[in-house]
Chain A
């Protein structure tokens, strides 16, 4: 009986060892595969998130630009830190990430209509500080010469306003291009009902 038990134990031990080895090998392989796949997925995920961000490069999300914020979201940052994107961006991000849309975090700013920078050229002293601050090179001008904003390139990021030593930069609202918007009949009915 005892010998039988010993043999049994011996076999069982060997079986356990083989199972453990196979288990370790499988787990290493799967973890490796997981690592590969996540690194690849994350890259595409960052691109997908970046495509949804408004690319104003304003830094209101407390990151350096839109791409760094996209990376942070992919690593688990909150999706409600982008004021220029507004609600639409938050909803689209939530759809992409299977998350619930949240209201914009007021610590990062408020949703405002799009504005662009305008330099009061008579007051500009030509210090080039705004040129260095502009993330999209939308300001032209030389040292000690007047600067001006290329309106079509300005993202309205507000970053040039603070460095200006003479406060000659205004953020002006864009004139509405096409005030008329077609609405879905369902939305028309709901707005009519709300008015009633």
Chain B
């Protein structure tokens, strides 16, 4: 339980709160915000990765050749870190096999391939009209069944996060609508057009996690979205907080700092402070799941970049290939340099555009040379310290850079590489054009491999020690077994006056046994000598 009380926070702040450090890149959001959120025509095929969040465990419920209806469940989660997946449209399952997905080159995952039949036949939905009277548990169950994951980017299953929040005790729910990264405009478009739904979703989330206070935090450079939110919040206990527009205010730990002024300690989460952060897109998905009964089958994706004739926001079905969406926006192949999934600072370059969009894809940038000019050659670090000034995690990027170059793992850890959120602010301001984040990503991977190997070797060491202990025990017990404890002759039992060790005791016993055996053998030999003279052969041997 957290002891922090957030009720003392002022309702409206005169001075916009700021995060530590941060940069102010050009937003590039106007192009995609010129039109409304557009519905998308059905693509011929959908590719649905079974695990929408890395590290989750889901197994398919359908077989190849099955006909499925829209909203039908395709996978079931195997543990709490998984989320269910539903059919975005009706059609037939043509394959369940490994297919390329976004990420590093050659990244592939198990995907369900759905051939769309174009009819869009759906299961009957069960809308809930009295959603404001539901209990927290009922809301949580509906969110769980709808397979909602965090729409901000990390994709952590929402129901699991809520459960953790209930365990920790939540004092404050923050709806993150900061959306600070350049090019991405999904939350702004969503709030501009569907602010009422987002507010209802936020109220449902608040019911689910029993938070006494809820704040919607948005950057101040989105006037249309703020106006829409103000009118939607007119009779609601939920508050609106405007933030300084700085990148990366939208990071989970950063928005906590911007809203409450508290810093999340190293190695902890906002949950440890009694704060729960959810994205505005997640709140909208919660509204759809609870009020309309719709599982999470679509999300709003920004399509932008100078290679597109008509940049816009789409309500895209999960599993749509990126190439299909780019074609809808009129991609000009002659200018198209590269495609980036995500924003311009944290996004991943796509190796090819046949990869599907997932529940966490918020933006596709079809970039020209003007968007992403060829990087200048990397120069030596001049230790100007600009990177340390902008690092929102208050790290020392130049130190981390030199330790990463020399593979100094102990120093990397003690300088807090694990707290790096890979926001790219340091590389953005670097006058020597050093791609700092690439160094950190590689170094983080090194540290992970090392720690896995160390855990493995410790495990083997304990097993080896146990093996040695076990073999020694077995040897000892075998030696013990040779001493018949119950048949000790009374005169040999140790007395109190002369304590003898078990070794001496067994030695005495052995000597006694040897003496007995010799006596028996002698007796036998004497008797045999006596009988041999009388009986020449054993009678039994004659019969053979």
Contacts and interface: CB of A to CB of B under 8 A. Distances in A.
Interface of A: 50-51, 53-57, 65-67, 134-138, 153, 155, 179-186
Contact of B445 (A65, A153, A179, A181): A181
B464 A182 contact: no
B438 A184 contact: yes
| Interface secondary structure of A, over-half rule | loop
B442 A136 contact: no
B460 A155 contact: yes
B107 A180 contact: yes
A55 B470 CA distance: 18
Given A184-B439, A185-B435, A185-B439, A55 B457 contact: yes
Contacts of A65: 464
B104 A186 contact: no
Contacts of B457: 53-55
A184 B405 contact: yes
Contact of A182 (B106, B405, B442, B454): B442
A182 B442 CA distance: 5
B405 A180 contact: no
Contacts of A57: 460, 464
B463 interface: yes
19 contacts: A53-B457, A54-B457, A55-B458, A55-B460, A56-B460, A57-B460, A66-B464, A137-B467, A137-B470, A180-B104, A180-B105, A180-B106, A180-B107, A182-B104, A182-B445, A184-B439, A184-B443, A185-B378, A185-B439
Nearest to B434: A185
A137, A153, A183, A185: residue with the most chain B Cβ atoms closer than 10 Å = A185
Contacts of A53: 457
Contacts of B378: 185
Nearest to A181: B445
B145 to A, nearest CB: 32
A182 B447 CA distance: 12
Contacts of A56: 460
B240 interface: no
B404 interface: yes
B269 interface: no
A123 to B, nearest CB: 25
A135 B438 contact: no
B358 to A, nearest CB: 18
A179 B466 CA distance: 34
Given A55-B461, A57-B460, A57-B464, 7 more contacts: A50-B461, A53-B457, A54-B453, A134-B467, A136-B464, A185-B378, A186-B405
B463 A153 contact: yes
A184 B404 contact: yes
Contacts of A137: 463, 466-467, 470
A181 to B, nearest CB: 7
B106 A179 contact: yes
A56, A136, A153, A179: residue with the most chain B Cβ atoms closer than 10 Å = A136
Contacts of B454: 51
B345 interface: no
A116 to B, nearest CB: 12
B337 interface: no
B461 A182 contact: no
Contacts of A54: 453, 457
Nearest to B107: A180
B95 interface: no
Contacts of A155: 460
Contacts of A183: 442
A135 B445 CA distance: 31
A182 B441 contact: yes
Nearest to A153: B463
Contacts of A135: 464, 467
B105, B438, B457: residue with the most chain A Cβ atoms closer than 10 Å = B457
A182 B443 CA distance: 8
Across chains A and B, which 5 residue pairs bring their CB atoms closest together, nearest first?
A55-B457, A136-B463, A182-B442, A55-B460, A55-B461
B446 to A, nearest CB: 9
Contacts of B404: 184
Interface string B464-491: 1011001000000000000000000000
Nearest to B445: A182
B510 to A, nearest CB: 28
Nearest to A135: B464
Contacts of B442: 182-184
Contacts of A66: 461, 464
A56 B442 CA distance: 27
Nearest to A154: B460
A137 B464 CA distance: 8
Contacts of B460: 55-57, 136, 153, 155
